[in-house]
Chain A
Amino acid sequence: MAKGERGTTTRGTTTRGRTAASRRSGSTAGRPDPELIQLLTPEGDRIESVTGPDGVEYRVDFTDAEYREIYRDLVVVRKLDAEATALQRQGELGLWASLLGQEAAQVGSGRALRPQDMAFPTYREHGVLYCRGIDPIMPLGLFRGVDQGGWDPNEYKFNMYTIVIGAQTLHATGYAMGVTMDGKTGGDDSEAVIAYFGDGASSQGDVNEAFVWASVFNAPLVFFCQNNQYAISQPLERQTRIPLYQRASGFGFPGIRVDGNDVLASYAVTRAALDNARHGQGPTLIEAYTYRMGAHTTSDDPTRYRIASEVEAWQAKDPITRVRAFLERQKIADADFFAEVDEAARREAVHLRERVLSMPDPQPLSLFDHVYPGGSPELDEQRAEFGRYLESFEGSAH
Chain B
Amino acid sequence: MATETLSMGKALNTGLRRALDDDPKVIIMGEDVGKLGGVFRITDGLQKDFGGDRVIDTPLAESGIIGTAVGLAIRGYRPVCEIQFDGFVYPAYDQIVSQVAKMHYRSRGKLALPIVIRIPFGGGIGAVEHHSESPEAYFAHTSGLKVVSCSSPQDAYTMIRQSIASDDPIVFLEPKRRYWEKGPVDTEADYPLHASRVVRPGTDATVLAYGPMVRTALDAATAAAEDGRELEVIDLRTLSPLDLAPVFDSVRRTGRCVVVHEAPSNVGLGAELAARITEKCFYSLEAPVLRVTGFDTPYPASRVEEDYLPDLDRVLDAVDRTFGW
Judge: A and B partners, yes or no: yes
Query: Complex Cα distance A179/B72, Å?
Result: 9
Separation in Å of the B192 CB from the closest CB of chain A?
10
Q: Across the two chains, which residue of chain A brings its CB closest to B113?
A: A373
Q: Check A213 against B103 for contact (C-beta < 8 Å).
A: no
Listed in ascending order, the chain B residues whose CB lies under 8 Å from chain A are 27, 53, 58-59, 61, 63-64, 66-77, 79, 91, 94-95, 98-99, 103-112, 114, 143-144, 146, 166-168, 194, 241-244
State whether the Cβ of A177 lies closer than 8 Å to any Cβ in chain B. yes
State whether the Cβ of A372 lies closer than 8 Å to any Cβ in chain B. yes
Query: Complex Cα distance A373/B102, Å?
Result: 11
Contacts of B68 in A (CB 8 A): 170-171, 173-174, 177, 213
Interface residues of A in 355-398 (CB under 8 A from B): 369-374, 376-379
State whether the Cβ of A175 lies closer than 8 Å to any Cβ in chain B. yes
The interface stretch among A19-27, A202-210, A242-250 is A202-210
Q: List 30 A-B contacts (CB under 8 A).
A: A150-B108, A153-B107, A160-B103, A160-B107, A164-B98, A169-B67, A170-B64, A170-B66, A170-B67, A170-B95, A171-B71, A172-B71, A173-B64, A174-B70, A174-B71, A174-B79, A178-B72, A178-B74, A178-B75, A179-B75, A209-B64, A212-B59, A213-B64, A213-B68, A216-B59, A372-B146, A374-B146, A374-B168, A376-B194, A378-B241
Name A170's contact: one of B70, B107, B108, B167 (CB within 8 Å).
B70
State whether the Cβ of A1 lies closer than 8 Å to any Cβ in chain B. no
Contacts of B194 in A (CB 8 A): 376-377
Given A154-B110, A164-B98, A178-B76, A170:B105 Cβ within 8 A = no
Q: Which of B71, B167, B241 has the most CB of A within 10 A?
A: B71
Per the CB 8 Å criterion, the residue count for chain A at the interface is 42
Q: Check A170 against B71 for contact (C-beta < 8 Å).
A: yes
State whether the Cβ of A335 lies closer than 8 Å to any Cβ in chain B. no
Name B72's contact: one of A164, A177, A378 (CB within 8 Å).
A177
Contacts of A205 in B (CB 8 A): 63, 91
State whether the Cβ of A159 lies closer than 8 Å to any Cβ in chain B. yes
Q: Check A372 against B168 for contact (C-beta < 8 Å).
A: yes
Separation in Å of the B114 CB from the closest CB of chain A?
8
Q: Check A371 against B103 for contact (C-beta < 8 Å).
A: no
Contacts of A206 in B (CB 8 A): 63-64, 67, 94-95
Query: Complex Cα distance A153/B76, Å?
Result: 13
Separation in Å of the B200 CB from the closest CB of chain A?
25
Separation in Å of the A158 CB from the closest CB of chain B?
12
Contacts of B70 in A (CB 8 A): 170-171, 174
Q: Across the two chains, which residue of chain B brings its CB closest to A179?
A: B75
Q: Check B110 against A152 for contact (C-beta < 8 Å).
A: yes
Given A159-B74, A171-B71, A174-B69, A369:B59 Cβ within 8 A = no
Query: Complex Cα distance A120/B94, Å?
Result: 18
Q: Check A369 against B108 for contact (C-beta < 8 Å).
A: yes
Given A167-B99, A173-B71, A373:B106 Cβ within 8 A = no
Contacts of B75 in A (CB 8 A): 174-175, 178-179, 182
Q: Check B59 against A213 for contact (C-beta < 8 Å).
A: yes
Query: Complex Cα distance A170/B66, Å?
Result: 8
Separation in Å of the A314 CB from the closest CB of chain B?
33
State whether the Cβ of A29 lies closer than 8 Å to any Cβ in chain B. no
Q: Across the two chains, which residue of chain A brings its CB closest to B98?
A: A164
Q: Across the two chains, which residue of chain B brings its CB closest to A206?
A: B63
Query: Complex Cα distance A174/B167, Å?
Result: 18
Name A174's contact: one of B67, B109, B146 (CB within 8 Å).
B67
Separation in Å of the A178 CB from the closest CB of chain B?
3
State whether the Cβ of A176 lies closer than 8 Å to any Cβ in chain B. yes
Q: Check B108 against A148 for contact (C-beta < 8 Å).
A: yes
State whether the Cβ of A32 lies closer than 8 Å to any Cβ in chain B. no
Q: Check B72 against A167 for contact (C-beta < 8 Å).
A: no
State whether the Cβ of A339 lies closer than 8 Å to any Cβ in chain B. no
Q: Across the two chains, which residue of chain B brings its CB closest to A149?
A: B106
State whether the Cβ of A181 lies closer than 8 Å to any Cβ in chain B. yes
Q: Check A373 against B59 for contact (C-beta < 8 Å).
A: no
Separation in Å of the B177 CB from the closest CB of chain A?
29
- Give a binary string over A133-164; 1 marks a CB under 8 Å from any B CB, 0 the rest: 00000000000000111101110000110001
Q: Check B104 against A371 for contact (C-beta < 8 Å).
A: yes
Query: Complex Cα distance A379/B72, Å?
Result: 28
* Contacts A154-B111, A164-B94, A213-B64 supplied; 12 other A-B pairs, CB < 8 Å: A160-B106, A171-B70, A174-B68, A177-B72, A178-B74, A178-B77, A206-B64, A371-B143, A373-B114, A376-B194, A376-B241, A379-B143
